[in-house]
Amino acid sequence: MVVGFAELESAGSRSPAKQAGLQCGDVILAVNDMSVDSNEALVEALGSLKDSKAVITYDRGGTQQTCAVSAVYDGQEQTWRLGAWVRDSMAGIGTITYVDPETGVFGALGHGICDVDTGALMPFENGSLMSSSVVGVKKGQEGTPGELTGSFDMTCDQGVLYQNTNSGIYGCISDPAVYEGCKALPIASKKEIKTGKATIIANVDGDRSETYDIEIIRVYPENDDSMRDMMIQVTDKGLLEKTGGIVQGMSGSPILQNGKLIGAVTHVLINDPTRGYGISIERMLEGAQIQ
């Protein structure tokens, strides 16, 4: 994915890629019909150019297009350059919202994974689920969102990711031990969600999940397309003391009301970290069925 552009002095302080019409968010698929699916593959394709002429095949919003780029030769590195910054992978900490005990299929985050620079929904080729442990918390303050920091266990995959959508990321757990012995809960339709007391299950320390009190202060209309089904406020003193409210990394934390799973935490209000938004479990389950 193109995430930015670099002005090359040898090209007259311009970016050949930008000049050719490439935009941030475009996904490069091939160079002169040589398929590329990683940063390394792109470097290899550029290194194999016979001259400066490069036809770039890319995806923009689901439509495949091409453009001709006049690459610039870097004598020091002995390769051709486009004047574009690209990214082929990312990793982060989030929370699994639910697991179907019969299939191992799970949904997480309650929102899509977007590129940090462009804001574009990241296209998925593949992904892995790994266990993590929260090792630190940056408390949220007015105007500054907090975040969880953690460590990953890179030695063992617990599952695969197969879908990245606006309503969450979806995959299948390959290690049943992740959820074996856990209590199954019924789900609620969006119509059952009411303003008032509720709880969230969140992991903000180590690998332990605990239950915290919240208040649902608003339920949005069913025809709302913003992926915001409810506004919540953290009222639990213990969670407020530890995190200041909702912080990055808590996305996907399950929301329970009247003994049912009703949705997941998705976003925090920047100017009030005690408040944030939630998506209904009904909408997440619908998103999981879109292939």
- Looking at the annotation, which residues are catalytic? 111, 236, 251
| Alpha-helical segments (H) within the chain | 16-20, 39-47, 237-243, 281-288
CB contact at 8 A, 278 and 111: no
Which residues are registered as beta bridge partners of 273?
A: none
Q: Which of 169, 162, 187, 199 is nearest to 109 (CA)?
A: 169
Give dist(CA 96, CA 149) in Å, integer: 16
Residue recorded with tokens 């199954």: 184
DSSP string computed for 251-275? TT-EEEETTEEEEEEEEEETTEEEE
Task: State residue 229 phi and psi, 5-degree precision.
Answer: -95, -20
Which residues are registered as beta bridge partners of 267?
A: 277
The number of beta carbons lying within 10 Å of the beta carbon of residue 134 is: 19
CA 142 to chain centroid, in Å, comes to 23
Give dist(CA 200, CA 176) in Å, integer: 23
